[in-house]
Amino acid sequence: MLMHNPPHPGEVLKELCIEPLGITVTDAAKGLGISRKTLSSILNGKAGISPEMAVRLSIAFNTSSESWLNQQSQYDLWEAEKHRNELHVTQLSAA
C-alpha cells in the first residue's frame, strides 16, 4: 500500500543524477541517446519514464532499470488511485 505522494521520477532523476554530476541536460540527452526535448519533458514532469527509458537510465547512470520503472509505476498508481471511487466496479465472488 502506498502511503505518501511519490515524487515525479523526473524530479528524482534531476536531483540525484543530473545535478550531482554537474552535467547539462543537453549532454545528458546525448549520452542517453535521446533528444533534449524528450529528456526535458521527463525532468519537468511532462512525460513518464518508459520501460526503454528505464533501461537507458540504468546504463547511463549505472543503476537498476527496475528502480526507475518502479518509481514511475508508483507515481502512475498514485494518480490512478485518486479516482478509485469513480470506477464502476463490483466485487467478484464464486459463481
Partner DNA sequence: TAACTCATAACGTATCAGGTTACAATATTT
Partner DNA sequence: AAATATTGTAACCTGATACGTTATGAGTTA
Q: Provide the grid cell at 25.
A: 541536460
Please tell me whether residue 35 binds DNA under the rule CB under 7 A. Answer: yes
Binding site for a second copy (CB under 8 A): 1-2, 17, 20-24, 27-28, 31-33, 50-52, 54-56, 59-62, 64-66, 69-70, 72-74, 76-77, 79-81, 83-84, 87-95
Judged by CB under 7 A, which of 50, 70, 73, 74 binds DNA?
A: 50
**Of 24 and 64, which CB lies nearer to DNA in the complex structure?**
24
CB of 93 to DNA, least distance (A): 16
Scored b (16 or more CB within 10 A) or e, 21-51 reads eeeebeebbeebebeeeebeebbeeebbbee
CB of 40 to a second copy, least distance (A): 16
Handedness of CA 17, 20, 26, 28 (dihedral sign): negative
Angle CA(51)–CA(26)–CA(15) in degrees, nearest 5?
65
Distance CA 23, CA 8 (A): 20
**Binding stretches for DNA (CB under 7 A):** 24-27, 33-38, 40-44, 46-50, 52-53
